[in-house]
């Protein structure tokens, strides 16, 4: 083999879990070391910004980019790495769809500041100050970056080639992708999700599925579900039906519903909308026969009242990518 291809991993607004998923490929890391030149990864190697800036365009073979776009630093790095990389992969839910931190889009920065720095339960802030971009301290000036009002996914900022779903992607998935690259196989079409199958979590989930006829939804704390039967059939909101497979159904395996971290399944535009339409088809409508329209509405309302937070339930990992991706008021 000639020169080892350069790869990079970068975190924008990230929790670090995506990096840990790289560390968790354990001894496979040695293979990575043997076959690639990990040119840039703030947690692993110390290449600096100016080193990247000096590289020629498209010099990096692949960049795995994780974390959402939350401030100007994140955006600049996304642009730089786009320019320097042949292939840019949105790695993990935050980069792919905004992730859990994009639930922030349901509130304004002002609300964040008020709640966190002024009305918080332990806060001591008699003068009601909040962080500022410029602060003059006794000895001089200190600066802070400004927050963006809206959290965005990577592809809302730059052109993205592939997506690796998961919060974080399971280490096996990363291993599969690395192995595939090493095999030199033909690259999939641009825009594909890689490392995952084309099906949903439901297809991978080992639970027994019957015809679903749901009369009542319940919350996870209310019931101890049967260990073998589909959780959705038992009334728990399980997102598996609208979520891309790839994890193998990890959460249902420990008796917890899928919360949708792999994002929309193949061919699905909007994960939440898909879930809502799926629910529409599995609510038991037997009792509706012959009912008046008012009664029907009341019946449906009554069933849906047990889903208290549609935004946070159906778009937990993808508010940035929802059709309506922030609160408009």
Partner 1 sequence: MKKVTIDPISRLEGHGKIEIFLDDDGNVENAYLQIPELRGFEQFVVGRPAEDMPVITNRICGVCPEAHHMAATKALDDLFQVVPNSAAKKLRELFYSSFFVTDHTTHFYALGGPDFIVGPDAPAGERNILGVIRKVGVDIGKQVIACRQRNHEVIKLLGGRGIHPAAGLPGGWSKAINEEERQGIEKTARANIEFALFTLKAFDEIVLKNSVYLDLITSDTYRHETYYMGLVDNSNRVNFYDGMLRIVAPNGQEYVKYHPCDYRQHIAEIVMTWTYLKFPYLKNIGWKGFVDGASSGVYCATPLSRLNVADSMATPLAQEHFEKMYETLGSKKVNGRYLPIHFRLATHWARLIELLYAAERMLELATDEEITCPDVRVIPSGVKGEGIGCVEAPRGTLTHHYLTDERGIVAKANLIVGTTNNYAPIAMSIKKAAQKFIHNGIVDEGLLNKVEMAFRLYDPCFSCATHNLPGKMPLHIALKNNSGQLLQEIRRD
Find the length of the chain.
Answer: 329
Q: Distance between CA atoms of 138 and 131, rounded to whole angstroms?
A: 17
Indicate which single residue of 18, 154, 164, 205 sits in contact with partner 1 (rule: CB under 8 A): 18
Q: Are 69 and 12 in contact (CB under 8 A)?
A: yes
Nearer to partner 1, 176 or 220 (CB): 220
Looking only at residues 176 through 215 of this chain, which bind partner 1 when binding is defined by CB under 8 A? Answer: none
Which of the residues 68 through 97 are near ligand SF4 (CB under 6 A)? Answer: 92-94
Question: Which residue has the closest beta carbon to ligand SF4?
Answer: 240
Residue 7, number of CB atoms within 10 A of its CB = 23
286 binds, among partner 1, ligand SF4, none (CB under 5 to 8 A by kind): none
Mark 143-182 with x for binding to partner 1 (rule: CB under 8 A) and - for no binding: -xx-x-------------------xx-xx-----------
Q: Does 222 bind partner 1 (CB under 8 A)?
A: yes
Q: Does 195 bind ligand SF4 (CB under 6 A)?
A: no
Determine the size of the site formed for partner 1 (CB under 8 A): 83
Closest CA to 162 of 181, 141, 143: 181
What order do you get walking across the sheet with 60-66 strand by strand? 37-40, 6-11, 60-66, 85-91, 162-164
| 304 near partner 1, rule: CB under 8 A | no
Residue 254 to residue 170: CA distance in whole angstroms: 16
Burial of 40 (0-12, 13-18, 19+ CB in 10 A): buried
Tell whether residue 52 is a contact of ligand SF4 (CB under 6 A). Answer: no
Closer residue to ligand SF4 (CB): 94 or 178: 94
Interface pattern 156-175 for ligand SF4 (x via CB under 6 A): -----------xx-------
Question: Can residue 151 be called a binding residue for ligand SF4 (CB under 6 A)?
Answer: no
CB 201 within 8 A of CB 239: yes
């Amino acid at each position: 083999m000639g020169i080892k291809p350069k790869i990079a991993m970068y975190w924008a607004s990230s929790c670090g879990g995506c990096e840990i998923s790289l560390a968790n490929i354990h001894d496979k890391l040695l293979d990575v070391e043997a076959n690639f030149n990990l040119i840039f990864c703030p947690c692993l190697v110390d290449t600096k910004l100016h080193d990247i800036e000096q590289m020629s365009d498209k010099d990096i073979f692949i960049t795995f980019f994780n974390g959402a776009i939350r401030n100007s630093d994140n955006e600049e790095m996304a642009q730089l790495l786009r320019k320097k990389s042949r292939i840019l992969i949105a790695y993990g839910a935050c980069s792919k769809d905004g992730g859990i931190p994009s639930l922030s889009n349901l509130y304004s920065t002002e609300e964040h500041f008020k709640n966190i720095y002024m009305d918080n339960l332990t806060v001591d802030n008699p003068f009601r100050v909040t962080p500022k971009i410029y602060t003059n301290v006794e000895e001089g000036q200190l600066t802070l970056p400004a927050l963006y009002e809206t959290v965005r996914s990577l592809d809302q900022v730059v052109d993205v080639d592939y997506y690796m779903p998961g919060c974080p992607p399971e280490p096996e998935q990363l291993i599969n992708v690395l192995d595939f690259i090493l095999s030199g196989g033909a690259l999939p079409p641009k825009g594909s999700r890689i490392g995952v199958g084309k099906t949903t979590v439901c297809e991978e989930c080992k639970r027994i599925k019957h015809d679903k006829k749901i009369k009542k939804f319940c919350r996870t704390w209310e019931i101890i579900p049967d260990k073998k039967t589909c959780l959705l059939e038992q009334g728990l909101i399980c997102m598996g039906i609208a979520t891309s497979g790839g994890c193998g159904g990890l959460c249902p395996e420990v008796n917890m519903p899928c919360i949708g971290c792999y994002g929309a399944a193949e061919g699905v535009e909007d994960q939440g909308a898909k879930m809502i339409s799926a629910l529409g088809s599995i609510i038991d409508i037997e009792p509706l026969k012959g009912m008046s329209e008012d009664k029907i509405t009341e019946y449906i309302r009554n069933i849906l009242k047990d889903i208290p937070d549609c935004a946070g339930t159906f778009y937990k990992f993808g508010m940035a990518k929802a059709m309506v991706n922030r609160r408009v008021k």
